[in-house]
């Protein structure tokens, strides 16, 4: 399975050097459970929540400093970036996201400088007020 994960910023396009082990997408709705006297539990459908994406992989030693700095900067910038995930023959994910969490660890038994990471992203939707 050939696929690509690319981040697009105002500074350019950056393709991950090693693809994540998987590409899970979390989709949820903001449904509310209510208790109705004489009826029992019912659900009130809500609007959809923002999609979230959890990526987990590693950065090879020769590029790990760049990527750790890249995602740390995205986390601190408070600005969205574009996430592009494409796989042969499937509809690509092309969405604005913000970095929710970025975890890194350097473990023994691997080449020095190799960094394992977990990256949590959340869909970004600009807030738009409606004129009444």
Query: Which H or E run contains 75?
Result: helix 61-77
Distance CA(8)–CA(112), nearest Å, equals 29
pTM for the whole thing? 0.80
Please report the domains of the chain, with CATH numbers, ordered by start residue. 16-27+50-126 (2.40.30)
pLDDT digits (tens, 9 = 90+) for 101-124: 999 998 888 888 999 999 999 999
* Band (1; pLDDT cuts 50, 70, 90): low
Mean pLDDT of 69-78: 93
pLDDT for res 19: 86
- From the list 8, 104, 102, 23, the residue with the least C-alpha distance to 61 is 104
Report which of residues 120 and 35 the model is more confident about: 120
Burial class (CB in 10 A: 0-12, 13-18, 19+), 23: middle
């Amino acid at each position: 399975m050939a696929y690509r994960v690319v981040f697009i910023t105002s500074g350019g396009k950056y393709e991950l050097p090693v693809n994540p082990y998987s590409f899970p997408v979390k989709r949820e709705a903001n449904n509310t459970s209510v208790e109705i006297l004489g009826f029992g539990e019912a659900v009130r459908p809500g609007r959809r929540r923002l999609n979230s994406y959890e990526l987990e992989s590693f950065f090879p030693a020769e590029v790990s400093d760049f990527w750790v700095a890249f995602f740390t900067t995205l986390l601190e910038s408070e600005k969205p970036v574009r996430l592009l995930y494409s796989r042969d023959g499937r509809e690509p994910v092309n969405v604005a996201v913000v970095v929710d969490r970025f975890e890194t660890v350097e473990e023994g038994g691997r080449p020095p400088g190799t960094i394992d990471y977990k990256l949590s992203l959340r869909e970004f939707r600009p807030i738009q007020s409606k004129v009444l």
